[in-house]
Amino acid sequence: MGPTSLPAEADCNQRAIPKDWTVVSGGAHFAGIVATHFYGRHAQNLHITNEFGAIGSAFAIAIGMAVARGDGKVMLIEGDGSLLMHIQELETIRRQGIRMLISVMNDGGYGAEFHKFRANGIDPAEAMHGRGDLAGVATGFGLRGAAVTEMGRFAPLFREHQAANIGTVWDIHTDDLIPSRAYRRVHYGEA
């Protein structure tokens, strides 16, 4: 996806997900997407989680919210590194029949770290782990999985998710060379 694709794709995601859904986001590099692109929603349906600055904590919170709601109307937006810290919970979602949608922002590494490294002239290699097939991993756990590598896929994928009545992972490939607006402002001094 190109330099302007993440905000545009986030906007497509915001239009594809009904406003009565609960959206939970991790607090990593992409966290601003929820605050800036999921507009027109009730505040109680938007949750950005960054407990103690630790990544990966949003997954468990989203599972709890999905169980509490019981209607399958919860979407988690999480980074690939964060998801990998709790990947075994995909089995819990399948076994318990938890119908939730997981949008994984897959930049092939720990984006919050490698963008900071690059901004300070440090080699980001240690923060990069590569793009595994997270959609395939979801399928291996018995859930639905789809790789999102081009614009315009959210609406049809959302219809498929609804019809399947099972948990789904969207493996959304993002460009690891493009920092978010917030990171450009904080780490590169852009307005």
Indicate if the pLDDT at residue 87 is higher than 50: yes
Indicate if the pLDDT at residue 92 is higher than 50: yes
Please name each of the domains of the chain with its CATH number: 5-188 (3.40.50.970)
Averaged over 160-176, what is the pLDDT?
95
How would DSSP label each residue in 18-66?
Answer: -TTSEEEEESSTTTHHHHHHS-SS-GGGEEEE-GGG-TTHHHHHHHHHH
Could you tell me which of 107, 86, 182, 100 has the C-alpha nearest to residue 144? 100
Backbone φ and ψ for 46, nearest 5 degrees, come out as -125, 125
Q: Considering only residues 149 and 52, tell me which one the structure prediction assigns the higher pLDDT.
A: 149
pLDDT in tens, 93-123: 999 999 999 999 999 999 889 999 999 999 9
- Take residue 180 and report the two structure tokens written for it: 């978010």
Maximal CA-CA distance, the chain: 47
